[in-house]
Structure 1
Amino acid sequence: MMNALYKKIIPLALLVSLLAPSCRKGFLDTVPDNITTLKDIFTNKAMTEQWLARCYSIMPSMWDQPYNNVWSGQSDEVDYAWVQPGINSGAITPDNASPNNWNPYYQTIRQCAIFIRDAGQNKEIQEQPNGQQLLKQYIAEARFLRAYYYWLMMKQYGPVVLMGEEPKAPDADFQIPRSSWDECVDYVLSEMDKAFPDVPVVHVNAGSGEIDKTQIGRITQPVIAAVRSQVLLFHASPLFNGNTELANFKNLDGKQLFNQTYDKERWKRAADAALAVINLNRYELFRETNADPFQAAFLSYRNLFFDGYTKEAIWIRSASADGHWERHVSPRASNGNAWNGVAVTQEMVDAFRMADGKAITDPAGGYSETGFTNTATNFYVAGTYNMYVGREPRFYVNVTFNGATIPVVPDAQYSRVEFFFTGNSGKNGAPRDWPSTGYTARKNVHPTTDFRNNKYVARPTMMIRLAEIYLNYAEALNEYEPGHADVLKYLNEVRDRAGLPSLTGGSQEELRKEIRLERQLELMFEGHRYWDVRRWKIPGLPESHQGGQFHGMNIEKGTSLSDPEFHKRTVVFTRAAWHPRFYFYPVPQSEIDRNKVLVQFPGY
């Protein structure tokens, strides 16, 4: 299916060639094969627009798991059956680090820079109705995208090499050191600020004024505001704000790459940036109505990913890998035999509260790891382990467990998922299509997906949604001005949609824990957890450990749904012990060899 973002400006054959990762060329090879010169491109309207689309084409999708977007599988969220990134075993080195985004992002940064420099010569666009403004918009989009790819690199690699405004000639001096983290943030934000006034609030059809749905994914002012919120939240966080543990990370000339003095005002900037998005009053938390409040919360969170983008999404990516994700996470009992290999850890299962909002460690919450229920619901069948009974609504959206109803349209002979050893989705008889923990991910699996007939429900991916911004605001405000009424207000907005009772108070530390837990649950599998535990500097703590032992049920045992032998907490895999070098990825060794002033992150 053609990506709606490019529908008006790119032929399908060209789009395929632009989007295929295997077709990415070298860092300086920016001219398409059948084009003679850059002048040919930037004096032709269609070719210029194709070049801009190329700047969009590398945009990652959080649902493109487990092969291209592996961050969930490198955190405590999930374990992949087919892909084990080197960071999990500790074998990550500058020669083998995957995903290697250093070269692809710099290539696209260069493409954006060429567009910014050369697009202004396109008289064909300027002669169109409102052509001058359209060209300014195009250049602003490229400027934002260049800054955004720098931002993605900064999250992965730390302070990066800023290449400047002008794309360098192939024979230029590329011996350029890293800029400091603060310099990188200042540059990214300043570029986004420059782009902001020249992109629309929303893309509309000329004449009618109606929203142009073919332009889904194009940059708008709210998108820029939302990304600024993300950048400033990271910038205020402990990893980046006065982190003395990185005092020795310096350039060869002794330049400090991470600031050493904590600045509380960064939290205010982060809070103000999130509030600015909220105050646009263009978005709302998506909600379904139902006579049963629990069912209403379940449907609100589940259907958010199918219908909620119309209300909650701030940045939408029209092309997504939802079908790929759905087949990977769904159990084999699903129609057409899905791949059953994205395993949720017991640590994530334990994080979910009970329906009344109490933690499973609270004796008053009714949690039990003894016995099996005699009652069936629309979430699980009779005979299901009591561990999974009475949990909060989001648990049943996020996790498929032994005894859970099948997440897609089931075959008549099946009514439940069986992860025990001899079950319909168990390890017995399957070469690798089984989850190591006895759980699979469930979020964003449409209930009418039909693997047998390759039928999927098309929907866009939400890159940024309002619930994230609410949590950004609550976190930043709690750090800057604990006790401010808005901390509880916006934290409770997310909890209320999830069917949990509102919090009525708490100390700064208590609310910090609640906000972090809320991000863990609300944004699960959406590409946040890996980065959050790092920016908070908590990846070595027991409750958020990123290395060591991880648990699940005993998938080597069990011959029936209620077999106690399966339902035993078991160490199911062990990752390398946490090491500070895992805060960032190593720069590829080939780049270190070429750029003699580029320093490697300590520990590699």
Structure 2
Amino acid sequence: MRTLIKFFLLPCLTFSMLACKKYLDVIPDDVATLNSSFANENEAQAYLLGNCYANLQRLSDVCRNAGFTTSGEVIIPTDLPSNQSLKGSGQDAGFNLLRGFQNVQNPLFNFWDAYNQGLNLWQSIRFCNTFLDNVNTPPDVTVTERKRWIAEAKFLKAYYHYWLIRMYGPIPIADVALPVNATTDQVRQKQLPVDSCFNYVVHLIDEALPDLPPSIQNVITEDGRITATIALAVKAEVLATEASPLFNGNPDYSSFANIDGTKLFSAAPDKAKWQKAADACKAAIDAANASGAALYQFVAQSGIAHMTDSTKLLLTLQGAVTSSWNTEQLWTLNPYFGYQIQASPRVNALATTVYNFFSNFSVPIGESELFYTNNGVPINEDKTWDYPNRYKVVQGDDANGHYVRKGYSTNKGNLNREARYYADIAFDGSTWFGSSNTDDNNPDVINAVNGPAAPLDPIAYNATGYWARKLVPYQTASANNSFQTFNYSWPFMRLPALWLLYAECLNEANGPSAAVYTWVDQVRARAGLPGIQAAWAQYSRTPNKPGTQDGLRQIIHQERRIELAFEGQAGWDLRRWKELQNVLVNPFLGWNVMNETKTTGQYYNLQTVYQPQFGLRDYLFPIQKADMLYNPNLVQTPYW
């Protein structure tokens, strides 16, 4: 792992400091401080990196990302004391959304005006506008550098608007910093139609593109800054989001209008938006290729006692996320992922002595069943897989020996699954390569039947019996009564995400084609799976599914949810597809993890952790009531 000296990004701003400024606020009134911020090149760059970039880096915290916490991929126990949520991190607001705790008085995930675990993105936009107003002041900045800074600020301003659009739909556009003598009408702006909002974002990105570098050359000082490749990939995602059912002629919002009666959503879907998004995806893929983007492949390192090809594949799939700044990661944010101990099971005897081994990130059984069989088709479609008896207890066998301990009693559903299942999820009976044991001939095994270490900490437990292994590098270990993390920076976008987005857009625009299959099959091939057509023809009970637009849509959606599991993407995808409500209609299930008798028979009884609460109104977030009073020109999110 290379050592990088990252540029300064996170000024010491508390949430109370963030909350003291209203959105769309005027420029700072401390003129002397503002002037000093742009007195020279160093000060101006510090303003860009320390203010404009700041909240972008905070978005690397998955617990501040609705794409992670409201996806149903990971939940937390419901009985954690309020003062010890996630064992003191206080990052449970997003998870509580699915428990029905959302409200308009003090909304959870309030990114409109900083509160609780929200981020004030309007303040971030204001920083960008202030920077753009003053970037020409320092005399010692070269023309090339100034152009790049302007492009970065424009992209960041576009991205913050995009994040708000995904959350709230139609929003006001803060294109300029308002003067100190701005009138009330100037400050109290109206929401614009959602298509106008998306068009504004795309226009800003297009303005920024010519002056952004295609890739980072000086990785020591500049990793994490925006490139043209990142901007093109984001543009593709923005356009695909605009083309998706949530925003493209959504009948649920047909009556949603501005205070002056302007309709805020189009009346009918526009299929042409998908082709526009497809073209943007292809441009982003071409740029990524030109910049050297390629799928990550694990390279064996010193200290590995023994590793088979099966284990190497698992480490490749996991390392695509946990090996920072690799060629597959189109966009990586600087801060380290901070929840490894929440995602980790107790792997071995050393781990059982570690106090506060939280394990609170719990994967529901429904999420585990999303992954394919080893034939590359859904478990309920595979003709050769015993779906009705998937909850029976069986023993691990030779065929699954590298993933499940041979002879260990485990759930039958854990056998004969695709490699991504074993790379992404840990469970009772699963082997664990790493945590100081790198011999896959004699690996550690997860023994969840014995339950949490209740005498040490009764609230440090996993609620379902499934862990998000993908988030924990094999180098992370428990030793000497401590948990020693192998830090990695958070990947915001990977190359396979762009490939699958391109396939989705092509299918929506024109239906099934060889090109669609090719882009999806590239992702499947790295996971050791056959192509879509071959897999469905040979193993599926619905062999013609890939040949129809609807069937291929289902396949692509499931492929994205599998490939990008636990990466903060599924929640956004399920929202834009208008499928999250269907996913969350069923209760979150797990095994009897408390298992007082410590027996396999008692452990393998299905338990309801809780019934998620998610309705039509929850696709978009409510605006805080206080902000509605502050600006009477706003209209509340529908159904709130």
**TM-score of the pair, normalised by structure 2:** 0.84
Query: Deviation of residue 344 (structure 1)?
Result: 0.3
SS at match of 1:121: coil
- C-alpha distance in 2, partners of 1:72/1:593? 31
1:325 to 336, 339, 345: 339
Query: Deviation of residue 548 (structure 1)?
Result: 4.6
In the other structure, the counterpart of 2:395 is 373
In the other structure, the counterpart of 1:194 is 207
Residue 584 in 1 paired to residue 597 in 2?
A: no
The one-letter amino acid paired with 2:54 is: S
In the other structure, the counterpart of 1:240 is 247
In the other structure, the counterpart of 1:99 is 109
SS at match of 2:335: coil
Deviations 1:236-287 (A, max 9, x none): 1111111122111111111111111211110001111111111222312223
- C-alpha distance in 2, partners of 1:326/1:407? 16
My pick for the range that moved more, 177-186 or 405-414, is: 405-414
In the other structure, the counterpart of 2:476 is 449
In the other structure, the counterpart of 2:256 is 249
Residue 383 in 1 paired to residue 408 in 2?
A: yes
- C-alpha distance in 2, partners of 1:429/1:559? 18
The one-letter amino acid paired with 1:58 is: N
Change (3 A) 1:213 1:294: same
Deviations 1:518-548 (A, max 9, x none): 111110111111111111112232xx2x245
Give the conservation status (yes or no) of the 8 Å contact 2:320–2:326. no
The one-letter amino acid paired with 1:470 is: W
- C-alpha distance in 1, partners of 2:66/2:418? 27
- C-alpha distance in 2, partners of 1:442/1:23? 36
The one-letter amino acid paired with 1:101 is: F
Residue 141 in 1 paired to residue 152 in 2?
A: yes
Deviations 1:419-445 (A, max 9, x none): 23x43x366764211121121211121
Query: Deviation of residue 192 (structure 1)?
Result: 0.7
In the other structure, the counterpart of 1:113 is 129
Which runs of 5 or more structure 2 residues have no equivalent in the other structure?
A: 78-84, 86-91, 114-119, 301-306, 534-545
In the other structure, the counterpart of 1:24 is 18
Residue 307 in 1 paired to residue 323 in 2?
A: yes
- C-alpha distance in 2, partners of 1:539/1:490? 25
2:71 to 63, 75, 96: 75
- C-alpha distance in 2, partners of 1:212/1:76? 36
Give the conservation status (yes or no) of the 8 Å contact 1:19–1:58. no
- C-alpha distance in 2, partners of 1:63/1:373? 40
Residue 364 in 1 paired to residue 384 in 2?
A: yes
In the other structure, the counterpart of 2:541 is none
Give the conservation status (yes or no) of the 8 Å contact 1:330–1:407. no
In the other structure, the counterpart of 2:581 is 540
In the other structure, the counterpart of 1:603 is 639
Change (3 A) 1:500 1:308: farther
Query: Deviation of residue 410 (structure 1)?
Result: 5.6
In the other structure, the counterpart of 2:538 is none
Change (3 A) 1:285 1:366: farther
For the aligned residues, what is the CA RMSD? 2.8
In the other structure, the counterpart of 2:100 is 90
The one-letter amino acid paired with 1:436 is: A
- C-alpha distance in 1, partners of 2:224/2:231? 12
- C-alpha distance in 2, partners of 1:5/1:316? 15
Residue 165 in 1 paired to residue 194 in 2?
A: no
- C-alpha distance in 1, partners of 2:548/2:286? 26
SS at match of 2:369: helix
- C-alpha distance in 1, partners of 2:333/2:13? 14
Residue 516 in 1 paired to residue 535 in 2?
A: no
SS at match of 2:470: coil
1:404 to 430, 433, 441: 430
In the other structure, the counterpart of 1:43 is 39
Change (3 A) 1:221 1:487: same
- C-alpha distance in 1, partners of 2:376/2:312? 16
Residue 277 in 1 paired to residue 284 in 2?
A: yes
The total of aligned residue pairs comes to: 575
**TM-score of the pair, normalised by structure 1:** 0.88
Query: Deviation of residue 195 (structure 1)?
Result: 0.8
Which runs of 5 or more structure 1 residues have no equivalent in the other structure?
A: 126-130, 205-210
Deviations 1:457-516 (A, max 9, x none): 333322111100001000000011113211000000011111111112522112111100
SS at match of 1:353: coil
SS at match of 1:195: helix
Residue 154 in 1 paired to residue 154 in 2?
A: no
The one-letter amino acid paired with 1:248 is: S
Give the conservation status (yes or no) of the 8 Å contact 1:407–1:445. no
